[in-house]
Chains A and B, each alone.
Chain A
Amino acid sequence: MSTIALNPVSYLDNTGNDPTVRARLVVGDNDFHSVTEKVCGIVEQPRPPKIWWAAFAASSSLTLVLFACIGYLVTTGVGVWGLQIPVGWGYAIVNFVFWVGIGHAGTLISSILFLLRQQWRTSINRFAEAMTIFAVVCAGIFPGIHVGRVWVAYWLFPIPNQMSMWPNFRSPLLWDVFAVGTYATVSLLFWYMGMIPDLASIRDRATTKLRFYIYGVLSLGWRSSNRHWHRFEFAYLLLASLATPLVLSVHSVVSFDFAVSIMPGWHTTIFPPYFVAGAIFSGFAMVVTLIIPTRKFFGLEEIITARHLENMAKIMLATSMMVGFSYSTEYFMAWYSGNVYEAFTFLNRAFGPYAWAYWTMVTCNVLVPQVFWVRRLRNNTLMLWVASILINVGMWFERFVIIVSSLSRDYLPTSWGYYRPTAIDVLTFAGSFGLFLTLFLLFVRFLPMVGMAEVKGVMPQAHLDHPGHRGHGDYHGDIAVREVDV
């Protein structure tokens, strides 16, 4: 095993960068069955580990806090938040953009990396997609509750009514409703579809009637027929190619919420790419934050390998550079455009009352990821984990800076203001993490968190010339390649 020879450190380490040797995507002495065992085992164990219970207790109580805050908000009025004129959008929208951003990693991994034939995605895509959906759920809450009259929020949808009124399709906010709605739906479909064969595995291993019926129904009677696989794979490819533009469009549309306005600091054309890069950045950060403990607790190091983490570190490094570039571009445009209001807004960001937020953002998003240049550091799991958390913090502040600092000082100095969040603001935000983690914990407990069928597909055993690793995996997974019979 040449790769192992390269790194005598641990047989788990497949982070070699010898170009002549293809690193293995699943390490250790695994075959199809052992993969099934490892993944299904987690779902099938009669009771989850104590750590799971602890985490679940914590997160679900946080969720209750969220619902309590929402209840208070709806019954009292959005005044319970720190909002005011000029800063009409505060934590709620910041959190919304933050969560939607995080919700980008999953679909990106499962669609774009799929189209790019990145096989290493297989070990983590299920996990990431799940995270995506939960993040979008959290994101979806905020625009819903931030409106002044929640009980008429349904006016945002084109429903026939006695007023014979329709929504205003010229409003970016409405684009947002459709974009996020579509994104949530498609991600869900994508996620569920990919899960069908694995649900079938659990069904077939079921030892209790209940489990059999539940997973049986969920897997829709999948019988791994190749004729089914054929259409399944096509559907998967099509969804991937649909989700790719979608995932790029969603954060672009979110950025329109700001770019389409005329506020200095908002009204700029760089927002769509800038936001998308940021979304991928934060998404991967969140995946790393969650996957590191998870793979440890559930002993999945052989399937979710060090190399997976390293690849994600590299992606974060790349996107961090993009984000950093966007920051500097904004300043260049502010100066180059000669627009006095724009110019001031950006000076104000860096040196005004909200400078603290700005510099937190820069530090976490641009400086911290630079450590990933060093191989030893990026392969240090703890370091990676800490960095990923800092990046999450930084990305939250990015949205805070964009929204709050721009609004707080716009055209007329007489209407400048300073926004301070209230306790309710903070609790609601914390609560959304509770909801996110609760859903996530339920996921790892009850659903296959690794796409077994896909992982098996990229294992050496899946190939003709098994055993032997020479150049394996360099052609499978390729729809285009059809074997010529002899």
Chain B
Amino acid sequence: MSPMKNDKETGLTYWRSLEEFARTPEFQKAVQREFPGDDWDRLPPATRRQFLKVMGASLAMAGLTACRWPKEEIVPFAHRPEGRTPGVPEHFATAMELGGVALGMLVTSFDGRPIKAEGNRLHPDSLGALTAIAQADILQLYDPDRSRRLLLREDGQQYVKGWNDFEAAAAEYFAGDGTGVAVLAGASSSPTRAMVRGRFLESHPKAGWYEYEPISRDNERDGTRLVFGTALRVHPKLGAAGIVACFDADPFFDHPSSLRLAREFAAARHPISGAGARLYVAESSYSLTGVRADHRIAVPSSRVPVVLARVAHLLVAEHGLLLPAAAAGYAGAAGHEISEQEIHFAKLLAADLASHHGAGVILVGPRQEPAVHALAAVLNQVLGSTVGYTADPDPDRPSHIEAIGELGAAMSSGSIRTLLILGGNPAYDAPADLRFGELLAEIPVTIHLSLYDDETSRRCTWHLPRAHGLEVWGDGRAWDGTWTMRQPLIAPLYDGRSTIEILALTSGSGSTSGYELVRENLRKSVSASDFEGFWRRALHDGVIEGTAWETVNPRSNPGRLAVAVDGLRAHLGVAQPSADRPEVVLTADSRVWDGRFANNGWLQELPDALTKLTWDNALLVSPATAHELGIGDGEVAAIEAGGATIEVPTCLLPGQARWSMTLALGYGRTEAGQVGNEVGVDAYRLRTTTAPHVVSGVVVRPTGRSYGLATTQDHFAIDTLGFNERDRRVGDLVREASLDVYLANPEVFHEHEDHPPLISLWKDHEYEGEQWGMAIDLNTCIGCNACVVACQAENNIPVVGREQVLNQREMQWIRIDRYFKTEPGLRQDEIEDAEAVFQPVTCVQCENAPCEQVCPVAATQHTNDGLNAMVYNRCVGTRYCSNNCPFKVRRFNFFNYHKHLADTTMMQFNPEVTVRSRGVMEKCTFCVQRIEAVRIPARNDNRPIADGEIVPACAQTCPTQAITFGNLNDPDSQVSRLREEKRSYATLAELNIRPRTHYLGRLSNRADGDGPEGHGALHKEAESHGKEPA
């Protein structure tokens, strides 16, 4: 369309102006400038400079004022779209779909390039927060390794094709009634896709439709089917819950609405306003939820049902709970040998559940069999738990494992001639026993739509570049069904197309423009008088109010229940893990999920919450088990299961169930891209249709070879001296007390502080005006890493790679310290279990900052609003400040980490933050750019800055709102009030450094009253600490 026309039409609706702005010549020119064909690395530096603030040479010359930096050009619009001011960021609501659930987000776009994703406050699963993975997805948008063209692979040859070629070919492939045609798609909740799918199956009635997701909650779904006769979706509500019992479940991580659940639980945990929730966890490996638990036992995944069954038994036997007749068998199902510890746990839990009737909830993890879910469902029913149900959006869908199995069968039977794979990467992540990769080769025509030319694409005849989620029109539904809109933030960088577009194309009728399809579908499904207005509103909010599904009140179905009981009985029958037949639990990875994010540097370098491991997956084993298996920390172990053998480095981790080992999926990719190739070990090789989650009876052998695992913290296993010291210090660094002790004696967190009054030798500086400070609540922090990624995206923090991490040169400004509290007196290799705690640490902005006085060039000094300013362009890089930082939160650019960055990747940079070059120190700035962004306009109109107006990236995205930022000189600001709380303390305060960041002590709420071991440690620590002079 002509620019003039464009200008007339645009306006009021910025989404529209964006969409068309993307088509306008000047944007095309911009794109040309940024992406001149495939000529990625041969761009003159000047062009980059126009686009972003990359320092490079000019920084080096900053000192020599005699040099004038290279000539810069200003490239104004020829026609500036109305409502757009260059250099002023805009926000657009859109969503990301993972595993068939849409997560709403708000994306910041700067001069037409999306630079940061945050949560959409209006979205039920986000509530303003966003997971680490969803935030990092924006890096994938700019990934230079993404495929840029259609490829046709025939008889060993590879041809570059255009869309028109494919359209021609498709017309032929999808001509008939669909006989011999099969579609393999990922799970999706998109109503539009459902519509297009319908259209496709209409025109190809004989075509087969299969949906596969490696990671799903199908077991839960099937569990409900067992109990209620029909598939339902489970909606636990933690806000009101007094007792939360998790059996191999990690609601804070792998649940689609983990953000909401975490938020609810945090509220319930509040010492004053909270419901005083108590968290029980029985799991085989430490999870985020497990760390937060008040009572946690490590039980092999295949033993978890035993414990649950015992709870059921106790509830019936000792607390007179009445199960439905058909389910009565459950109570009896608990006849298996069970340890003291497990009984103790079961007893406490049963008692609590009984006493909290109507205020408890039992959650079972996706890796547990449907029968176990069924039991939980029954118990929740009779306990009147805080669980809601809605109908499953696609109740007749077979489980993903079944689906892929059926497809496999169909393929080997030779009945499929054309296979269309929409997204996904089955050649890599389908169960190993299907040999999916090999099957693909036998299908005449295989078409793969994918972001990357990946393992599957390489085995298909056609590879079609897929548009990234931020490039496409679309929609989806939240976990609770809320209708969620997706709009493009930028025109497809690599000429990709979306799933619905391809599906529409192959269905052979109707429009193939995503934009049209989404509108058409929406227009059909809603009755809005003024559709345009409605549409605009929907895009603005990102969600459509009141579209959540009706909650249903299901009644259990006796017939099915009997089946469930037998199922459980059978399941309990199988032998338990032991020295000669340990189990390996395959889990979704906290960073690369099922492997689809393997080429994402931010995620690869994101330290796993518990192991602090980056750039690898490892076999998690408890120190004691490892000792008995004769495997050392970091030693490569050979795992034999079924036919397959894989070799993977071990990582010792307490809290790992005996004879149970955990291995994350998603690694060992071969065609992921430069970042993700050959990182870690492919655990899918152990995964079969029969045992997709827990592989029992494996053989584990040490190989004697050791492997350097790149962790951002010291390994759990270190020399005894350091080990004991670490144990001794934890109590004082991360203070913890049990809830009732705290309520009885609020001073408990300070009782053991004993140092001389903190007086300076000089007259203290008076800080007037706004004084920024932070409070971090250790009681609600769940260590989910969202803040780490948020900070990385906001502050242009480089990815440094495995080698550098190995040498402790990681750059993240926030690190989440993880401590284990072991029982005193145990040898390291005797340790089985240990309590874990998290403490987010970033620059605490000391008022008497040790780093400042030692800098010879005053590159770090204090601002009047109390920030510890780090001035990159003044820094000469002596690293003295870092040496003198007691928190070691300063990060140094040992090399120019941006040197080899693709220009696309640089498009993600936040122009409000300087990109640091080699040889300078950097650290957390309290997001000073966000402070300025609020302060300057406020000063312009002579108004004070309201509390909560400035929100640093970490605080913004924290799902539990554990981080609070504000003005300490304002007594009514939230942060001031939090610091008034008795839980508030400053780490290392005895050094008289006066940190601006305070921590709020951690509270435990154990049924048996006594505080966590850590509490004892606190005493122990404090006494010795008592003698310490500041």
Contacts and interface: CB of A to CB of B under 8 A. Distances in A.
B760 to A, nearest CB: 13
A76 B728 CA distance: 41
Contact of B883 (A76, A148, A407): A407
Contacts of B75: none
Given A148-B920, A151-B60, A168-B856, A416 B883 contact: no
Interface string B1015-1030: 0000000001101110
Contacts of A78: 877, 894, 919
Nearest to B1030: A339
Nearest to B1021: A340
Nearest to A89: B883
B509 interface: no
Contacts of A413: 714, 722, 725-726, 729-730, 819
A411 B892 CA distance: 19
B657 to A, nearest CB: 25
Contact of B853 (A86, A148, A170, A177): A170
B1028 A411 contact: no
Given A148-B877, A171-B853, A85 B808 contact: yes
Given A161-B65, A412-B733, A413-B729, A149 B853 contact: no
A156 B809 contact: no
Nearest to A78: B894
A474 B880 CA distance: 51
Interface residues of A, number: 60
Contacts of A339: 1027-1029
A172 B880 CA distance: 10
A340 B886 contact: no
B841 interface: yes
B1028 A340 contact: yes
A170 B721 CA distance: 37
B644 interface: no
Contact of B888 (A162, A257, A410): A410
A107 to B, nearest CB: 25
Interface in B308-336: none
B874 interface: yes
A261 B850 contact: yes
Interface string A386-417: 00000000000000000000010111111111
Interface stretch (A181-189, A348-356, A428-436): A348-356
Contact of B722 (A85, A172, A348, A407): A348
Contact of B856 (A171, A347, A352): A171
B60 A149 contact: yes
A133 B299 CA distance: 69
Contact of A148 (B730, B876, B1025): B876
Contacts of B722: 348, 352-353, 409, 413, 416
Contacts of A170: 853
A413 B1024 CA distance: 17
Contacts of B855: 168, 171, 173
Contacts of B886: 262-263, 410-412
B856 A173 contact: yes
Interface in A83-106: 83-86, 88-89
A417 B808 contact: yes
Nearest to A344: B725
B174 to A, nearest CB: 55
Given A149-B875, A263-B883, A352-B721, A155 B894 contact: no
B802 interface: no
A174 B876 CA distance: 13
A165 interface: yes
B48 interface: no
Given A78-B894, A146-B878, A417 B714 contact: yes
Interface in B860-880: 861, 874-880
Residue among A154, A170, A172, A340 with the highest chain B CB neighbour number at 10 A: A340
A412 B816 CA distance: 12
Given A84-B807, A261-B884, A352-B722, A412 B841 contact: yes
What is the interface residue range for chain B against chain A?
Answer: 35 or more
Chief secondary structure at chain B's binding surface: loop
Interface string A321-365: 000000000000000011111001001100111000000000000
B63 interface: yes
Given A79-B895, A152-B63, A351-B721, A85 B877 contact: no
Contacts of B1029: 337-339
Contacts of B303: none
Interface string B880-905: 10111011101111111000000000
A148 B888 contact: no
Contacts of B875: 148-149
B991 interface: yes
A173 B818 contact: no
A153 interface: yes
A88 B879 contact: yes
A66 B883 CA distance: 26
B423 to A, nearest CB: 39
Nearest to B714: A416
Interface in A254-272: 257, 260-263
A154 B886 CA distance: 28
Contact of B882 (A88, A412, A414): A88
Given A77-B895, A414-B819, A417-B714, A85 B887 contact: no
Residue among B856, B921, B988 with the highest chain A CB neighbour number at 10 A: B856
Nearest to A258: B883
B776 to A, nearest CB: 15
B817 interface: yes
Contacts of B818: 414
Contact of B876 (A77, A153, A351, A409): A153
A149 B895 contact: no
A377 interface: no
Contacts of B850: 261-262
B879 A83 contact: yes
A179 B893 CA distance: 29
Nearest to B1025: A340
Given A161-B65, A410-B888, A416-B714, A84 B876 contact: no
B1008 interface: no
B858 A77 contact: no
A149 B713 contact: no
A348 B721 CA distance: 7
A412 B1025 CA distance: 14
Contacts of B1027: 338-340
A154 B66 CA distance: 15
Interface in B35-93: 60, 62-63, 65
A221 interface: no
B615 to A, nearest CB: 16
Contact of B841 (A77, A351, A414): A414
B155 interface: no
Contacts of B893: 77, 148
Contact of B880 (A86, A173, A352, A353): A173
A166 B858 CA distance: 8
Contact of A173 (B807, B809, B854, B919): B854
A82 interface: yes
A447 to B, nearest CB: 35
B764 interface: no
A84 B853 contact: no
Contacts of B993: 262
A250 B912 CA distance: 44
7 contacts: A77-B894, A78-B877, A85-B808, A148-B893, A340-B1028, A414-B714, A417-B714
5 closest cross-chain pairs (CB), A and B: A148-B877, A148-B919, A79-B894, A338-B1027, A88-B879
Given A89-B879, A154-B63, A340-B729, 5 more contacts: A79-B804, A88-B882, A155-B63, A168-B853, A261-B880
Interface of A: 76-79, 82-86, 88-89, 146-149, 151-156, 161-163, 165-168, 170-174, 177, 257, 260-263, 337-341, 344, 347-348, 351-353, 407, 409-417
